[in-house]
């Protein structure tokens, strides 16, 4: 049973302390909550409100209604919804021109659904991203709340993004890790291929400008860098979720985390599929 079914702080008026009190009373899940309504350690009015919200939560989860949880679950607790929605989850990372001019032109959006990576590239198929993203209920980024998503919304003003957003930057910072995506990868032991190791967003912007001057190889290297970003986000999401479980001590099971390095053939296929 995932962490989401053990969560009570999406109920207005219930915070971490009260949630802990509920768990300590032996009420660990929504089913426990509904089945032991006479033993809930809550005042009567709050108890009835909580029972109503839990009944709604059960129905919303059965319907895979991500918007319901996006509206009531605090954004910093979005990690709790990850296992419940990871089969309709997408990992996103963007690259830009790097020029200091407000919201920079997006050069590439990488999208990974956990099995197949896709690239949407300026001048090739970038506009197709608008339709592709409609099929998902949850989006996972690193620093996406302040970078990737505002840029995407500026580039596609009418876009509909998944309602749930898990920004791993804030989860890892809560866990005591500091730095950007590549810093976190190094701290948890994730390594990249040698020829893209040490690259960052500034390098990706530089490679784009080299491509604009005629170096197609620079574009391919930039895209391989982006592919590593989105694929590694899946491993980081699993690691972050499991680490957060140890902080809440509610008995929810960990999820399996596997390391994936894209084979050269799949990298080539992803780049070719973008029309490059």
Q: Is 43 in the same domain as 147?
A: no
Domain assignment present for 180: yes
Q: Is 97 in the same domain as 54?
A: no
Q: Is 55 in the same domain as 180?
A: no
Domain assignment present for 211: yes
Strand partners, 139: 90, 165
**Per-residue pLDDT tens digits for 48-61:** 999 999 999 999 99
Q: Assign residue 154 the CATH number of its domain.
A: 3.30.420.10
Give the structural domain span for 25.
3-63
Domain assignment present for 72: no
Task: State the residue for tokens 């140890």.
Answer: 246
Q: What number is the average pLDDT over the span 197-222?
A: 95
Domain assignment present for 198: yes
How confident is the model at residue 43, as a pLDDT? 87
Domain assignment present for 40: yes
Domain assignment present for 70: no
Q: Is the confidence at residue 38, as pLDDT, over 90?
A: no
Q: Is the confidence at residue 113, as pLDDT, over 90?
A: yes
Q: Is 105 in the same domain as 221?
A: yes
Q: Is 11 in the same domain as 135?
A: no
Q: Is the confidence at residue 170, as pLDDT, over 90?
A: yes
Tell me if residue 88 falls in helix, strand or coil.
helix
Q: Is 155 in the same domain as 251?
A: yes
Q: Is 172 in the same domain as 258?
A: yes
Q: Is 266 in the same domain as 135?
A: yes
Domain assignment present for 234: yes
Q: Are 138 and 81 in contact (CB under 8 A)?
A: yes
Q: Is 106 in the same domain as 166?
A: yes
- C-alpha separations of 145 from 55, 96, 140, 153 in Å: 30, 16, 10, 11
Q: Is 254 in the same domain as 193?
A: yes
Q: Is 130 in the same domain as 255?
A: yes
Of 92, 121, 118, which Cα lies nearest the Cα of 106? Answer: 121
Q: How far is CA 10 from the centre of its chain?
A: 19
Q: How far is CA 135 from the centre of its chain?
A: 15
Strand partners, 92: 111
Task: Give the chain's domain count.
Answer: 2
How buried is 56 (Cβ within 10 angstroms: 0-12 exposed, 13-18 middle, 19+ buried)? Answer: middle
**Per-residue pLDDT tens digits for 66-106:** 999 999 999 999 999 999 999 999 999 999 998 655 667 99
Instruction: Give pTM, 2 decimals.
Output: 0.94
Domain assignment present for 71: no
Q: Is 257 in the same domain as 134?
A: yes
Q: What number is the average pLDDT over the span 36-46?
A: 84
Q: How much of the chain, in percent, has pLDDT values that exceed 70?
A: 98
């Amino acid at each position: 049973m995932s962490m989401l079914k053990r969560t009570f702080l999406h109920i207005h008026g219930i915070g971490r302390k009260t949630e802990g009190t509920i768990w300590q009373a032996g009420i660990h899940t929504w089913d426990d909550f509904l089945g032991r309504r006479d033993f809930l350690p809550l005042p009567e009015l709050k108890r009835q409100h909580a029972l109503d919200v839990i009944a709604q939560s059960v129905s919303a989860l059965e319907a895979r209604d991500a918007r319901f949880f996006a509206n009531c679950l605090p954004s910093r607790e979005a990690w709790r919804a990850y296992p419940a929605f990871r089969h309709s989850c997408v990992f996103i990372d963007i690259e830009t021109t790097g020029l200091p001019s407000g919201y920079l032109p997006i050069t590439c959006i990488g999208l990974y659904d956990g099995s197949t990576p896709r690239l949407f590239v300026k001048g090739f198929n970038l506009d197709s991203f608008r339709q592709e993203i409609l099929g998902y209920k949850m989006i996972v980024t690193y620093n996406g709340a302040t970078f990737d998503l505002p840029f995407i919304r500026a580039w596609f003003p009418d876009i509909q993004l998944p309602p749930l957003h898990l920004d791993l930057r804030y989860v890892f910072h809560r866990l005591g890790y500091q730095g950007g995506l590549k810093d976190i990868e190094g701290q948890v032991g994730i390594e990249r291929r040698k020829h893209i190791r040490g690259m960052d967003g500034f390098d990706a912007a530089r490679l784009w400008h080299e491509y604009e001057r005629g170096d197609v190889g620079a574009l391919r290297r930039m895209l391989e860098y982006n592919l590593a970003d989105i694929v590694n986000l899946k491993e980081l999401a699993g690691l972050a979720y499991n680490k957060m479980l140890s902080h809440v001590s509610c008995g929810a099971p960990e999820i399996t985390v596997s390391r994936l390095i894209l084979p050269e053939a799949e990298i080539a296929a992803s780049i070719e599929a973008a029309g490059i």
